[in-house]
A and B are shown apart, each in its own frame.
Chain A
Amino acid sequence: DSGVTQTPKHLITATGQRVTLRCSPRSGDLSVYWYQQSLDQGLQFLIQYYNGEERAKGNILERFSAQQFPDLHSELNLSSLELGDSALYFCASSGGLRDYGYTFGSGTRLTVV
């Protein structure tokens, strides 16, 4: 167990639907990062939250949104899903000044049919 928990592990949904992916960071980590990894692709940075505030934004579609709650867990919302959104979505957390490590969750595999 890496300390970062992502749920669900697998998700199959139809085009046009909306889903929510959840991430609980490692205890004490304030930063949460979301990444998308399509088949045979590298990891594309989507968005970062730090202590509840959006810190950085990457190649995140307007149909996607995220938030970080007071208990520091984060949710990534994907709406109007398209076949091309099928991918592995990773959440990672870091402790910042305490240590410069990034811990990854096991990912949520999203399949849009």
Chain B
Amino acid sequence: AQTVTQSQPEMSVQEAETVTLSCTYDTSESDYYLFWYKQPPSRQMILVIRQEAYKQQNATENRFSVNFQKAAKSFSLKISDSQLGDAAMYFCACATGANSKLTFGKGITLSVRP
């Protein structure tokens, strides 16, 4: 079974600045996938970015990028040029292979200061 740990409950960033959200995970599987989800006040779960463990290259989606450190089992999310709309709860999650459940961390609340 996998575990996902997000140790920071809250973070704050100034608009237009960069912020990094931390996540560590643990799994005994060699085939796994890592995700960051955003949950705004509407409570909708929105996929931000995903990373396949077998890929060494860090995933990037516009202003969002990850720092995937496989040996350290670390998967942090970097948000560049933060915008007010980025304010939300962010969840890190892990799935081990196809058709397996997502295991989530406890989430981190990100606030963006104008």
Residues of A within 8 A of B (CB): 2, 30-31, 33, 37, 41-43, 45, 48, 50, 55-56, 58, 88, 90, 92, 94, 96-97, 100-102, 104, 106-107, 109
If A88-B43, A90-B45, A107-B43 touch, whether A102 touches B95 (CB-CB below 8 Å) is yes
- Identify which of B100, B103, B105 gathers the most chain A CB atoms within 10 Å of its CB: B100
Q: Classify the interface of chain A: helix, strand, loop or mixed.
A: strand
Residues of B within 8 A of A (CB): 33, 35, 37, 43-45, 47, 50, 52, 91, 95, 98-107
Residue of B nearest to A56 (CB): B101
B99 cross-chain contacts in A, Cβ below 8 A: 30-31, 50, 55, 94, 96-97
**CB-CB nearest in chain B for A109:** B43
Cβ of B75 to closest chain A Cβ, rounded Å: 15
Q: Is the Cβ of A102 less than 8 Å from the Cβ of B102?
A: yes
Task: Write the chain B residue with the least CB distance to A50.
Answer: B99
Chain A neighbourhood of B105, CB < 8 A: 42
For B106, the closest partner residue in chain A by CB is: A42
For A109, the chain B residues whose CB sits under 8 A away are 43
| A90 and B99 alpha carbons, distance in the complex (Å) | 17
Partner of B91 from A42, A50, A100, A106 at Cβ < 8 Å: A42
* 8 contacts across the A-B interface (CB closer than 8 A): A42-B104, A43-B45, A45-B104, A48-B101, A56-B101, A94-B99, A97-B99, A104-B44
B107 contacts A106, C-beta separation under 8 Å: no
Interface centre among A31, A100, A104 (most CB of B within 10 A): A100
In the complex, A101 Cα to B35 Cα: how many Å?
Answer: 9
